[in-house]
Amino acid sequence: MDVAPGPTPAAQLLLRGIGRLEETVKVLVIEDDPTVAEMYRLRLVTDGYDVLVGSDGEEGLRLAVDEAPDFIYLDLRLPKLDGFEVLERLRATPATAGIPVIILSNYGDPDLRERGLQLGALEFLVKADTAPSMLALSVERTAGAQKRS
């Protein structure tokens, strides 16, 4: 019989930081590359998270509103709505305005990074420099920042 793993220390920290009593953290990954999305999904599930995947900007935005994730990883180059537009709409919608968002992009251009952070992303990570195993570390940093706020 398979037993789901309990929350990792990062997930437990995020749960405490956001004042939730549930045992799982819901993470939304908005990524159009199915291979990359599945790689992130599998890693996050292994780390004890409940994971949703949106394959384009419109689907990601809909999932964010309908499913109220605790955390969002957002690609920038997406079909239908790009990541910046998704982020702007997330921040403009009361139900999603406070959800922590980390941009995961193939592009590390300083102007893109600055724009993403100005629009309200907590971090801007470059995919080539970010192993899937490092995703939980960004959750820990985010939870720590929320507790200090």
- Domain of 61? 21-143
Q: How far apart are CA 76 and CA 112, in angstroms?
A: 9
pLDDT for 22:
52
CATH number of the domain bearing residue 43: 3.40.50.2300
pLDDT for 49:
87
Q: Is residue 78 part of a domain?
A: yes
Q: Is residue 126 part of a domain?
A: yes
Q: Is residue 93 part of a domain?
A: yes
- Looking at the 3D structure of the chain, how many domains does it have? 1
Higher pLDDT, 85 or 16: 85
- Does residue 33 register a pLDDT over 60? yes
**Whose structure tokens read 């970010």?**
130
Cα 146 from chain centre: 15
Q: How far apart are CA 85 and CA 115, in angstroms?
A: 11
Q: How far apart are CA 136 and CA 73, in angstroms?
A: 11
Q: Is residue 123 part of a domain?
A: yes
Structure pTM?
A: 0.81
Q: Is residue 120 part of a domain?
A: yes
Q: Is residue 8 part of a domain?
A: no
- Does residue 48 register a pLDDT over 70? yes
Q: Is residue 15 part of a domain?
A: no
Which tens digits make up the pLDDT trace of 59-81?
999 999 999 999 999 999 999 99
Confidence of residue 87 (pLDDT cuts 50, 70, 90): very high
Q: Is residue 3 part of a domain?
A: no
- Phi/psi for 41 (5° steps) reads -60, -50
Residue type, 21: L
